[in-house]
């Protein structure tokens, strides 16, 4: 595969951009080699600067549920740009967007638009602190909630990929206010809560983790957290930046039947444009300025082009339940194909899978939390990643990421991924 243009671009990029990229995981450091620079994408395919075609499994880290450059979203954006790009003033589409989100996610009574998942989570904990009058938060080891200071403690995704789960630059004061517990460990949460009675404002988690690779909550874990939060007056925040509108119309919370106090949403609700949102109980959201005293603002929040893209996407998802049937089918077909291949090859790697999200971990032990995710053979993952890339499959370049399927993938595409997986495993293990 010729990737000369990408290599040249990366050379140049490193002169002007720290590490040559605008978000760390993109640099391929965890898997070695030089990143491919993307030129375009359509449907299930993504194309690099050298003209190589790949089947897409990143999908902008989640939002491209319908595949790339979907005609409906393209048209909505084209229509919107006729009327200028930003007003910094209220618009009709923001109201429609809020109404739609509230109708699709029953736990959300009021919602505020922001520009990224990071802003959504930062703002959600601020309002939780204002509402409760408490300072501390609990997060889970290996969960990633964007790059807000409070969350760069035992963080997942790029933060763990680059060995900086606790980032320099975060003050001791902020770090002291972030308590961490192992994922899927209710007892640990109980102990933290008991040791910090009346000091914990919020508990935030990914209801299904995407950022230590795909990790599922064990039976009763989410319900147990809900109970602790109810008993202790703690605001339960589900970070559905990856899972919202993907795992079902109402996100992971609908799938698991759990009602959070606040929900954070991201990239998906912009159909790929820079958008985030946080929302939940009116009683809490009414603390947000100008309804209440907790300040949070944004010139570009509710940006008209981003709202047009997001509305087109969410309306489509709302009106086409078959999207979710297809995402389940595609995920099940891929998972059963991977399992059959592993059986055939006598391998026992752990495949975590739910709906259209999955991660193949290079360990034979169950992966249920951060330490078990980190037990994976990262060198082997790097080899696997490159073997897949060479076969035209574009995956997240780290073991600590989930893959995301889109409805643009046909059964034939899924079968191609399954064959590439089998061939890649044979190749890297010399089977
Ligand atoms: N929360 C979760 C669960 C995420 O996966 C991410 C990003 N992948 C974020 C928050 C941060 O979102 P953003 O990158 O848009 O700031």
Q: What is the pLDDT of residues 306-327, one digit of tens each?
A: 999 999 999 999 999 999 999 9
**pLDDT above 70 as % of the chain:** 100
Of the residues 298, 319, 340, which one is the last residue of a structural domain?
Answer: 319
CA distance 313 to 248: 14
Task: Give the pLDDT band (50/70/90) at residue 333.
Answer: very high
Tell whether ligand 1 has an atom less than 6 A from the beta carbon of residue 67.
no
Q: How many CA atoms lie within 13 A of 106 on its CB side?
A: 8
CA distance 379 to 385: 10
Q: What interface predicted TM-score (ipTM) does this complex get? A: 0.99
Residue 8: what pLDDT?
98
Residue 161: what pLDDT?
77
Co-location of 315 and 327 in the same domain: no
199 alpha carbon – ligand 1 mean position (Å): 26
- Of the residues 54, 144, 183, 394, which is catalytic? 144
Co-location of 311 and 336 in the same domain: no
Task: Give the pLDDT band (50/70/90) at residue 154.
Answer: confident
- Of the residues 110, 136, 267, 374, which is catalytic? 267
The pLDDT of 285-290, averaged and rounded, is: 98
Residue 274 alpha carbon, nearest atom of ligand 1? 15
Co-location of 265 and 384 in the same domain: no
Residue 266: what pLDDT?
96
Residue 399: what pLDDT?
97
Residue 319: what pLDDT?
98
239 φ, ψ (degrees, to nearest 5): -90, 100
Task: Give the pLDDT band (50/70/90) at residue 192.
Answer: very high
Co-location of 184 and 132 in the same domain: yes
Residue 159 has pLDDT above 80, yes or no: no
CATH number at residue 398: 3.90.1150.10
Residue 276 alpha carbon, nearest atom of ligand 1? 15
Is 267 noted as a catalytic residue in this protein?
yes
> Can you list the alpha helix ranges (DSSP code H) found in 238-345?
251-256, 282-285, 304-319, 322-345
Of the residues 272, 297, 319, which one is the last residue of a structural domain?
Answer: 319
Looking at every residue in the chain, the average pLDDT score rounds to 97
Residue 266 alpha carbon, nearest atom of ligand 1? 15
Tell whether ligand 1 has an atom less than 6 A from the beta carbon of residue 368.
no
Copy the structure tokens of residue 418. Answer: 């399954």
Tell whether ligand 1 has an atom less than 6 A from the beta carbon of residue 251.
no
Residue 146: what pLDDT?
97
Per-residue pLDDT tens digits for 227-246: 999 999 999 999 999 999 99
- Of the residues 48, 177, 239, 369, which is catalytic? 239
Tell whether ligand 1 has an atom less than 6 A from the beta carbon of residue 145.
yes
Number of domains in the chain: 2
> Can you list the alpha helix ranges (DSSP code H) found in 105-147?
117-132
Co-location of 61 and 145 in the same domain: no
Burial 115-132 (b: 16+ CB within 10 A, else e): bbbbbbbbbbbbbbbbbb
Contacts of 188 (CB under 8 A, 6+ apart): 181, 182
The pLDDT of 386-414, averaged and rounded, is: 98
Co-location of 15 and 112 in the same domain: no
> Can you list the alpha helix ranges (DSSP code H) found in 220-266?
221-232, 251-256
C-beta of residue 55 within 8 angstroms of C-beta of residue 392: yes
Co-location of 13 and 59 in the same domain: yes
Tell whether ligand 1 has an atom less than 6 A from the beta carbon of residue 266.
yes
Co-location of 37 and 78 in the same domain: no
Residue 211 alpha carbon, nearest atom of ligand 1? 5
Q: Which domain holds residue 137?
A: 71-319
Is 45 noted as a catalytic residue in this protein?
no
Find the helix or strand (DSSP H, E) in which 190 lies: helix 186-195
Co-location of 131 and 30 in the same domain: no
Residue 118 alpha carbon, nearest atom of ligand 1? 16
Co-location of 38 and 129 in the same domain: no
Which residue from 90, 3, 13, 83 is spatially nearest to 47, judged by alpha carbons?
A: 3
- Please choose from 22, 60, 117 the residue to mutate so as to test ligand 1's pocket, defined by most ligand atoms within 8 A of CB: 117
Task: Give the pLDDT band (50/70/90) at residue 166.
Answer: confident
Q: Which residues pair with 236 in a beta bridge?
A: 203
* pLDDT higher at 345 or 173: 345
Residue 257: what pLDDT?
96
146 alpha carbon – ligand 1 mean position (Å): 5
Residue 162 has pLDDT above 80, yes or no: no
CB atoms within 10 A of CB 7: 17
Give, using CA atoms, the residue closest to atom 10 of ligand 1. Answer: 145
pTM exceeds 0.95, yes or no: yes
Tell whether ligand 1 has an atom less than 6 A from the beta carbon of residue 122.
no
Residue 167: what pLDDT?
86
Residue 156: what pLDDT?
81
CATH number at residue 314: 3.40.640.10
Co-location of 190 and 315 in the same domain: yes
Angle between helices 304-319 and 71-81 (to 10 degrees): 150
239 alpha carbon – ligand 1 mean position (Å): 9
Of the residues 319, 335, 361, which one is the last residue of a structural domain?
Answer: 319
187 alpha carbon – ligand 1 mean position (Å): 27
Is 369 noted as a catalytic residue in this protein?
no
The pLDDT of 292-303, averaged and rounded, is: 98
Co-location of 253 and 391 in the same domain: no
Give, using CA atoms, the residue closest to atom 7 of ligand 1. Answer: 146
């Amino acid at each position: 595969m010729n990737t000369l243009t990408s290599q040249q671009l990366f050379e140049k990029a490193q002169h002007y951009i720290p590490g040559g990229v605008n978000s760390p995981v993109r640099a391929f450091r965890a898997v070695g080699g030089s990143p491919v620079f993307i030129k375009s994408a359509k449907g299930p395919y993504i194309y690099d600067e050298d003209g190589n075609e790949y089947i897409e499994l990143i999908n902008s880290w989640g939002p491209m549920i319908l595949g790339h450059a979907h005609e409906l979203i393209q048209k909505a954006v084209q229509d919107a740009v006729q009327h200028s790009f930003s007003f910094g003033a209220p618009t009709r589409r923001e109201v429609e967007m809020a109404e739609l989100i509230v109708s699709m996610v029953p736990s959300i009574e009021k919602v505020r638009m922001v520009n990224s998942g990071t802003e959504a989570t930062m703002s959600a904990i601020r309002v939780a602190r204002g509402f409760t009058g408490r300072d501390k938060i609990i997060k889970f080891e290996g969960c990633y909630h964007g790059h807000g200071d409070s969350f760069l403690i035992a963080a997942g995704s790029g933060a763990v990929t680059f060995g900086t789960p606790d980032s320099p630059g975060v003050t001791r004061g902020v770090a002291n206010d972030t308590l961490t517990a192992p994922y899927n460990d209710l007892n640990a949460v109980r102990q933290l809560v008991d040791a910090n009675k009346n000091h914990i404002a919020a508990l935030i988690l990914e209801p299904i983790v995407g950022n230590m690779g795909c990790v599922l909550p064990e039976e009763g874990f989410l319900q147990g957290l809900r109970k602790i939060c109810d008993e202790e007056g703690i605001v339960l925040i589900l970070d559905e930046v990856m899972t919202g509108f993907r795992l079902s119309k109402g996100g992971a919370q609908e799938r698991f039947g759990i009602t959070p106090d606040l929900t954070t949403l991201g990239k998906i609700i912009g159909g790929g444009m820079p958008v985030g949102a946080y929302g939940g109980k009116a009683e809490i959201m009414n603390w947000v300025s100008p309804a209440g005293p907790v300040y949070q603002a944004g010139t570009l929040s509710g940006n008209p082009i981003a709202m047009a893209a997001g509305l087109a996407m969410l309306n489509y998802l709302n009106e086409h339940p078959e999207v979710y049937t297809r995402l389940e089918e595609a995920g099940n077909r891929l998972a059963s194909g991977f399992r059959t291949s592993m059986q055939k090859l006598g391998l026992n790697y752990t495949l975590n899978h739910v709906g259209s999200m999955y991660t193949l971990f290079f360990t034979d032990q169950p992966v249920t939390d951060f330490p078990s995710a980190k037990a994976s053979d990262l060198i082997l993952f790097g080899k696997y990643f490159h073997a897949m890339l060479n076969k035209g499959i574009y995956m997240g370049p780290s073991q600590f990421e989930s893959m995301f399927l889109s409805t643009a993938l046909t059964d034939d595409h899924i079968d191609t991924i399954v064959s590439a997986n089998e061939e890649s495993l044979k190749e890297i293990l010399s089977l």
